Chain A
Amino acid sequence: MAAPTKDTEVGVPPAAAGRFAAFTRRMPSSTLGKHALTLLVAFVVVVLVLELTGPFRNSQFATMAYYGIAAAGLTVLTGVNGQISLGHGALMAVGAYTTGLMLAAEIPLLVTMLGAMAVTAAVGAVVGVAAARLHGPYLAGATLALAVGLPGLAIYFDHWLGGEQGMRIPSPQMPAWFSDAIYFLSATEASSAKYLAYIGWVTLLVVLFLLANLMAGRTGRVWRAVRDDEVAAELAGIPLGKVRVLAFVVSAACAGIAGAVLGIVVRLAAPSGFTIVLSLGLLTAVVVGGLGSLVGALLGSALLVFLPPFVTNVGTDIGLDNTQAAQLAPFVYGAVLVLVMLLAPSGAVGVLKKLLKKLWIGRSTRRTG
């Protein structure tokens, strides 16, 4: 396999580039191998973190997992392929309702999650076919209509989907081997919050692993080519429409899985859980993290989970009542969206990369000079 291309490393002086190459030589040479190694390390970290934290944090991590899955899918669509979607909250709803229906029919969890993924991907394909012909504000408007409109179906088919009240989702049974394994690891009884957090994070890691490989390969290159210059891409023989639809399908599949995880973690699918604020929250996560970066999507989803309690506390401290304080979080999302676009459109990961590069170059030039 070819050595990984480092298109982000433009402008690094030879000395620094040499040191960087020496560093990367110690890593497995194939992209796949590198990603697999990262996956393994990440899994160990996840186990450590989940074992060292209590049920409350565990459930926060479970929440972060489904935001992370959806954000990862969105960042691939928006950042890598250049299509914006305000409809991912609605696609998560598709995943969550499918999960509810399938689990109620006592279908096994893994099959259910794959089913939720498949159904949402199918919906995504339909949306994607329409979306592939649209760009920028038109696409934003159409997907906004999707986000506002789709929850209406749950109310229209209320005998089946539970109407305004929503649909209860049975929580999956913790298998015996899982509690045994946890007992073996930490000598404690596994809580259901922990079980859900494991489901979420294992799913998240698998999704990230698959997306990372997709992005590093030919598919990712083609997506980026279409985003950067559609005329050039078309001249190069890339079928624009198909490529865009594929990106939408992949992204929707992620949203479907995220919806499934949300369903089993929250145990309820209701229209009020999938408002436009959810879609815009996901957008905030990927924009703040840095469009097109999986690490950024992960950082962004951490923000979605850990920021609200923090700002809400600040709000009550400065004398807001509870309902007012609860609104501070969306206020901060919105303000952050605007500020990031004005001050640092490349997001957190972009800023970090720039800083690191500066440090790196600074150090190596000091040594050589």
Chain B
Amino acid sequence: MQQFLNVTLTGLGQGAIYAAFALALVLIWRSTRIVNFAQGAMAMFTTYLALTVIEAGQSYWVGLIVALAGGLLMGAVVERLVIRPVEGGPELNAVIVTLGLFVAIQALAAILFGSTFKSFPAPFDLRGFTVGEVNIAFTPNSIYVILAVVVVMVALVALFRFTDLGLKMRAAAFSQEVSRLLGVRVGRMLTLGWALAAVVGSLAGLLIAGGSLVYPAYMDGVVVFGFVAATLGGLDSPGGAVVGGLSIGLLLSYVSGYLGSELVALAALAILVAVLLVRPQGIFAKAAARRV
């Protein structure tokens, strides 16, 4: 019973992070119909930036700001320089470009920051709360992680629902041509979309790193889990990404807790294939038909 509780709580914390990462994938998918396979590598890179700042004596929070700002810049630059030319082209080309970025950024990080494992600080206590006599796997840091993800989601919802900029970004994502006819600078909106997504991705990378080890490949699994979560929710649906992220976090936590952590990625694959074959439009998508 206690193990079940602990596995569940761990899963929720992980799930919140996968949700954020999936949300970043969905933001990009909605605006450019591209799955950014480089997103994990980009987040890994900005986490290293934060670590560099922190190791130089700054606080965690300065590191956080550096990572998020780095993500913003990186997302914008990547979209402008390498994604723009393949937007709207054959879908395989865009996939290959993001994979190339993935490999290149990962190698670059290894060159700049080294390939060894480094520990990344957590801003809050990593010891679990004690309920009665029992110590549970829920820590002050878990609360921070979940709160951070919630704050970002609320901010994104507010941006897209209530501001003119958000409206223009959504319009540009849904219909480039009509948006241009309405004076929306579609190119700028797409750049902004990539930049915002990279910020959310960077946050996810930083939250995963907190209190654990970073190395250039530490986000590889998260890319897969985030993609599975996004697909589970329907790549088009931000709400679906959140629910998908939480579900994947829980499911994988059970697999890891009861079957073995080596099987987590395979379990993710099984979930993905099951979803794509049984309900390809995702569990939460509004549109009935989707070509997968």
Q: Which residues of A contact B (CB under 8 A)?
A: 78, 82, 84, 86, 130, 133-138, 140-142, 144-146, 148-150, 152-153, 155-156, 275-277, 280, 283-284, 287, 320, 323-324, 327-331, 333-338, 341-342, 345
CB closest chain-A residue, reference B84: A342
A-B contact pairs, 11 of them (CB 8 A): A141-B37, A145-B269, A148-B221, A280-B102, A324-B111, A327-B108, A329-B107, A330-B103, A330-B107, A333-B100, A337-B104
8 pairs of A and B residues whose beta carbons are closest in the complex: A334-B104, A337-B100, A334-B103, A149-B265, A331-B107, A136-B91, A137-B35, A149-B266
Is B91 a contact partner of A145 (Cβ separation < 8 A)? no
* Contact segment of B145-153, B188-196, B224-232: B224-232
Judged by DSSP, the binding face of B is helix
Are A152 and B266 touching (Cβ within 8 A)? Answer: yes
Write out the residue numbers on chain A whose beta carbons fall within 8 Å of the beta carbon of B91: 135-137
Q: Are A142 and B92 in contact (CB under 8 A)?
A: no
B35 cross-chain contacts in A, Cβ below 8 A:
137, 140-141
Interface residues on B, range: 35 or more
Q: Answer whether A140 and B104 are a contact pair too, CB < 8 Å, given A145-B265, A152-B266.
A: no
Cβ distance A48 to chain B, nearest Cβ, rounded Å = 35
Distance in angstroms from A134 CB to nearest chain B CB is: 5
A1 to B107, CA, bound (A): 51
Whether, in the assembled complex, B93 has its beta carbon less than 8 Å from a beta carbon of chain A, the answer is yes
Do A142 and B103 touch (CB < 8 A)?
no
Measured between beta carbons, the chain B residues less than 8 angstroms from A142 are 269, 272-273, 276
Residue contact B114 to A323, C-beta cutoff 8 Å: yes
Output the least CB separation between B1 and chain A (Å): 26
For residue A130, give the distance in angstroms from its CB to the closest CB of chain B: 5
B264 at the interface (CB under 8 A from A): yes
In the assembled complex, the Cα of A345 lies from the Cα of B99 at a distance in Å of 15
Q: How far is the CA of A155 from the CA of B262 in the complex (A)?
A: 7
Q: How far is the CA of A136 from the CA of B291 in the complex (A)?
A: 10
Smallest Cβ distance from B260 to chain A, in angstroms?
Answer: 6
Contact check: which of B104, B217, B267, B292 meets A134 at CB < 8 Å? Answer: B292
Flag if A138 contacts B231 (CB, 8 Å). yes
Bound state CA distance, A229 and B228, in angstroms?
28
With A150-B266, A334-B100 in contact, is A137–B272 under 8 Å at CB? Answer: no
Q: Is B73 an interface residue (CB 8 A)?
A: no
Cα distance A138–B217 in the bound complex, in angstroms:
22
B178 contacts the other chain (CB 8 A): no
Report if B277 contacts A (CB, 8 A).
yes
- The reply to whether B107 and A141 form a contact with Cβ atoms under 8 Å apart is no
Residues of B within 8 A of A136 (CB): 91-92, 95
Q: Is B126 an interface residue (CB 8 A)?
A: no
User: How many Å lie between the Cα of A135 and that of B100 in the bound state?
Assistant: 19
With A148-B224, A337-B96 known to touch, is A342 a contact of B82 (CB < 8 Å)?
A: yes
- Given the known A-B contacts A324-B110, A331-B107, are A145 and B268 also in contact in the complex, defined by CB atoms under 8 Å? yes
CA distance A287 to B97 in the complex (A): 11
Residues 34-52 of chain B: 1 if any A CB is under 8 Å from the residue's CB, otherwise 0?
Answer: 1101000000000000000
B96 with A283: CB separation less than 8 A: yes
Query: Most chain-A CB neighbours within 10 Å: which of B100, B115, B227?
Result: B100
18 new A-B contacts at CB < 8 Å, known A136-B92, A280-B102, A333-B100: A82-B92, A84-B92, A84-B95, A137-B35, A138-B292, A148-B220, A149-B224, A149-B268, A149-B269, A152-B264, A153-B262, A155-B262, A323-B114, A329-B107, A331-B111, A333-B103, A334-B107, A335-B104
Q: A135 CA to B273 CA in the complex, in Å?
A: 13
Q: Is the Cβ of B231 less than 8 Å from the Cβ of A156?
A: no
Residues of A within 8 A of B82 (CB): 338, 342
Contact A130 B114 (CB under 8 A): no
**Complex CA–CA separation, A334 to B103 (angstroms):** 5
* B34 x A342 contact (CB < 8 A): no
If the complex has contacts A133-B277, A146-B269, A280-B99, are A141 and B231 also in contact, measured as CB distance less than 8 A?
yes
Q: Which residues of B contact A146 (CB under 8 A)?
A: 269
B101: CB under 8 A from chain A? yes
Does B106 touch A at the CB level, under 8 Å? yes
Quick check: B97 and A331 within 8 Å, CB to CB?
no
CA distance A82 to B93 in the complex (A): 11
Determine the distance from Cα of A149 to Cα of B263 in the docked complex, in whole angstroms: 7
Task: Return chain A residues, CB-CB under 8 Å to B105.
Answer: 334
Interface status of B53 (Cβ within 8 A of chain A): no
Residue B204 at the A interface, CB < 8 A?
A: no
Contact flags (1/0) for B239-276 with A, using CB distance below 8 Å?
Answer: 00000000000000000000010111111110011001
Do A330 and B97 have beta carbons less than 8 Å apart?
A: no
Hey, what's the 0/1 contact readout for B67-103 against A, CB within 8 Å counting as 1?
0000000000000001001100001111111011111
Residues on A with C-beta less than 8 A from B221 are 148
CB neighbours of A337 from chain B (8 A): 96-97, 99-100, 103-104
Which partner residue on chain B sits nearest A271 by CB separation?
B262
Given A142-B276, A153-B266, A328-B107, answer yes or no on A334-B115 (Cβ-Cβ < 8 Å): no
Contact of B86 among A82, A152, A287, A341 (CB under 8 A): A341
- CA distance in complex: A331, B101 (Å): 9
A130 contacts across to B, CB distance below 8 A: 273, 276-277
B100: chain A residues within 8 A (beta carbon): 284, 333-338, 341
Query: Is B101 touching A334 in the complex (CB atoms < 8 A)?
Result: yes
Q: Which residues of B contact A84 (CB under 8 A)?
A: 92, 95-96
Q: Check A342/B85 contact, CB under 8 A, given A130-B273, A133-B292, A328-B107.
A: yes
In the assembled complex, B223 has its CB within 8 A of some CB on chain A: yes
Question: In the assembled complex, how far is the CB of residue B185 from the closest CB belonging to chain A, in whole angstroms?
Answer: 23
Could you say which residues of chain B place their CB within 8 Å of the CB of A320? 111
Chain A residue at smallest Cβ distance from B269:
A145
User: Per-position contact with A for B188-217: 1 when CB-CB < 8 Å, else 0?
Assistant: 000000000000000000000000000001
How far apart are A226's CB and chain B's nearest CB, in angstroms?
A: 14
